[in-house]
Structure 1
């Protein structure tokens, strides 16, 4: 049996012994500098928000963060921008497009907010080559079923563009978080290629239901099963057989760089679920590579 990675320096040994060419991480953030600074300031004040500290492990300059991912062997990753108010999304999309153009390992990302011009700028982003869209229901504080978003969802369902969506009620409950809004959205657009961030924590079972029911609904592992998350939002081990059965719909996600532990810990946390090396190979490389057309 392959041993889990002991630390970040050991991560390449881990994926090589699994027979993989590297990792595909579908939940990485690279934000414009002033936006990133505000995000890290939020986490610096985490005790006021969450009741616990959230030390950011990789609060590094952009070039150093890129170098960390290169050393880890992350071959493809998005930047996942997200707005918290109207008027931000189109600018974030322009910034994300420019960043992806400079870095071939980056999956060109886009985002949107419920506003009258959302359909226009999402169409422009897709036409410009966006390969993944990010939505953050909790931070955006909007209902994904907002009528302003109807043409956006219709276009995304038509194109099959993966949408990484933070819609679970962790780490904080939002007015529109939880499985009910997502179930309603999928009833309208069952062909949406959704990637449920954080496995939908803490409503794990309900989001497993959606992944089982809808062909194109996936789950990402962001912060899932880590010591940090298990203390706050533990996963019921009785659900492990269902997670094992969904092997081809589970994707590696990390939330790099704003995670309160080393990157290797996410991989070790998945390893200790004891779902087998075939499951790990699918999650760490094959599923993400297939979804985004990544080749070694």
Structure 2
């Protein structure tokens, strides 16, 4: 078992991941929750973790992969990650369209990145979401906790409808971990899904800590999925453990659970997320689906 305090990745970590893939017959991994954003924005995010911002609380959260952008993309490839995302998000109005332009450029120069976009409840949101979709965005990121907004805000209704019609997945941080926000939890998301039942939401962090409630939404709505980001790791199990009684439900949802990691903003080595999933012992088929096949199908890779 890997301790979350292990030193940053080396060639030996890439070898560990290669052995993991070999054990489970995985030619590669697909990670739907990785962060790439403008460098000055990313450095502000890192500073937030370094200084224990309000949404982090008292957690010690050292950033494991604090390399430059090119080094981070090279590292994912060394780990055998064949496709990844550039999760980015605004914390106030007027940021999303600019972030989407940066993400479009990043995807153009990074062919193995699924072109990512974001949104915020503000006038004009449907216009720039439509523009991003028409320009080739493959996945959106919504961060209810950081943005401090209600996902059921009427300003977002047209954008959700557009994304549902287009079949574009949205990775949404809507659970109340690591600290609750004004509009986190299953209630606001349930209101969105009641209006847009075909919306392809990917609930980040398995909905931590409302794991069971968000599993319930996935059971009710066939297009709702869960990503594994930080779930089941030693770090998260210390303060927001996944309830063992819910594991059979996660096994049954095996075709709608996707690998996510939060790379590079994780306080432990990348391989630990993989080992955390492996030690659940939910079966080879489940593990292969989570680490590759489900995302390959969803994104037609």
Structure 1 residue runs without a partner (length 5+): 1-5
Which is worse superposed, 271-280 or 7-16? 7-16
Equivalent residue number for residue 159 of structure 1: 166
Q: In the TM superposition, what is the alpha-carbon distance from 1:47 to its structure 2 partner?
A: 7.4
8 Å Cα contact 1:57/1:259 also seen in 2: yes
Following superposition, which runs of at least 4 residues in structure 1 exceed 3 angstroms of deviation? none
Equivalent residue number for residue 102 of structure 2: 95
Q: In structure 2, how many angstroms separate the alpha carbons of the residues matched to 1:115 and 1:172?
A: 25
Which one of 19, 25, 46 corresponds to residue 19 of structure 1? 25
Deviation readout 1:124-179 (Å, 9 max, x if unpaired): 00010000000000000000011111110010110110000000000010000000
8 Å Cα contact 1:47/1:54 also seen in 2: no
SS in 2 for 1:50: coil
Q: In structure 1, how many angstroms separate the alpha carbons of the residues matched to 2:248 and 2:222?
A: 19
Which one of 257, 263, 267 corresponds to residue 270 of structure 2? 263
Give the structure-2-normalised TM-score: 0.94
Q: In the TM superposition, what is the alpha-carbon distance from 1:103 to its structure 2 partner?
A: 1.0
Q: In structure 1, how many angstroms separate the alpha carbons of the residues matched to 2:134 and 2:31?
A: 24
Asked if residue 216 in structure 1 is aligned to residue 216 in structure 2, the reply is no
Equivalent residue number for residue 39 of structure 1: 45
- Matched residue count: 289
8 Å Cα contact 1:7/1:265 also seen in 2: no
What are the equivalent positions in structure 2 for 1:15-94 lying under 5 Å apart? 15-46=21-52, 49-94=56-101
Q: In structure 2, how many angstroms separate the alpha carbons of the residues matched to 1:216 and 1:47?
A: 33
Structure 2 residue runs without a partner (length 5+): 1-11
SS in 1 for 2:223: coil
What are the equivalent positions in structure 2 for 1:208-287 lying under 5 Å apart? 208-287=215-294
Give the structure-1-normalised TM-score: 0.96
Q: In structure 2, how many angstroms separate the alpha carbons of the residues matched to 1:72 and 1:7?
A: 8
Q: In the TM superposition, what is the alpha-carbon distance from 1:10 to its structure 2 partner?
A: 1.1
8 Å Cα contact 1:16/1:22 also seen in 2: no
